[in-house]
Amino acid sequence: MTLRVTVPDEGWLDRLADLGDSVNLVVWDFSTPQPEGRIDLAVRPYTPTTDGLDRLDPSGLEVLQLQTLGFDGVPDVLPAGITVCNAVGVHEGSTAELAVALLLASQREIDAFARERGEWNRRFTASLLDRRIMLLGYGGIGTEVEKRLEGFDADLVRVAGHRREDERGVVHGNDELTELLPTVDAVVVAVPLSDATVGLIDDDFLAALPDGAIVVNVSRGKVADTDAVVRQGGRIRYATDVTDPEPLPSDHPLWSVPGVLISPHVGGMSSAMQPRIDAVVRRQITNLLEGRGPDSVVISA
């Protein structure tokens, strides 16, 4: 059995060359029409957009492998009949790493110190030690954030869709947010984008937090009401890797709000990504060659 697999660029040909004759590798970056003939697995370029997905031909494409963890918008444009898999295990660690970096940089005012070139302004700053930090969205990214914060002597408050208990204790439900938000110093938001989470970080959410609290958003830009963040600026700090709109226009008021720290949606863009996505694609190829279904299916054919 030989699989026909498309990859986004020639670099993949070298990295997957050892697969031998069992795999026919074809370069296709989705900027041109879908190659003719059957494609068993197509690896999409690393992009957060859905451009071109509406033109895919399900009669010639079996499985679409995304390089992103999120797949919002894909079901709205993808023709029926194509199985879609997301990149579970690729970005969670790096995104959690950035979440902690944003939290630390904001707490210790690293961004402010960096702008004070030529000045020696010593001052006390906030820390993570002895702080109460909410992990809002206790899934793949949230659990990785927890691992990285465990050495900071912080009190972690875990929140997911529904209340439950595990070996670590209580995981609170979203219906407890009103009571929990006034008790925390920081919130790390890593919820998936859905109808229930669009605009979750709104005026009421931010007003419930104590003065000086920080919200770190590594989920999706639309999870936050940007206008609400601007209105609350100065009282509530906000460190985010995602924005709405995105990219954020250079003249957008969010850039100049006090206490706001922005990175340009680079949570998964680290040196860890390529070897991890390579491993995912190798595993998918092995699954298909051995007659099993692909892993991490988010849309079934």
pLDDT score at 294: 97
Does residue 291 carry a pLDDT above 90?
Answer: yes
How far apart are alpha carbons 224 and 202 in whole angstroms?
6
Six-digit token string for 26: 């074809």
- Res. 1 pLDDT band, cuts 50 70 90: confident
For residues 202-217, give the mean pLDDT.
98
- Res. 301 pLDDT band, cuts 50 70 90: confident
Residue 237 three-state SS: strand
For residues 99-124, give the mean pLDDT.
94
pLDDT score at 229: 98
pLDDT score at 48: 85
> Which residues have a Cβ under 8 Å from the Cβ of 26 and sit 6 or more positions away?
4, 5, 6, 7, 35, 39
State the average pLDDT for the chain. 96
Does residue 117 carry a pLDDT above 90?
Answer: no
Residue with tokens 């295990």: 89
Strands (E), 129-262: 132-136, 155-160, 164-166, 169-173, 186-189, 214-217, 237-240, 260-262
For residues 28-37, give the mean pLDDT.
96
- Res. 10 pLDDT band, cuts 50 70 90: very high
Does residue 158 carry a pLDDT above 90?
Answer: yes
Does residue 214 carry a pLDDT above 90?
Answer: yes
Q: What single-letter DSSP state applies at residue 59?
A: T
pLDDT score at 3: 96
Tens of pLDDT, residue by residue over 39-61, are 999 999 999 889 999 999 999 99
pLDDT score at 20: 87
Among residues of the chain, what percentage have pLDDT more than 70?
Answer: 100
Does residue 271 carry a pLDDT above 90?
Answer: yes
Tens of pLDDT, residue by residue over 235-254, are 999 999 999 999 999 999 99
Does residue 147 carry a pLDDT above 90?
Answer: yes
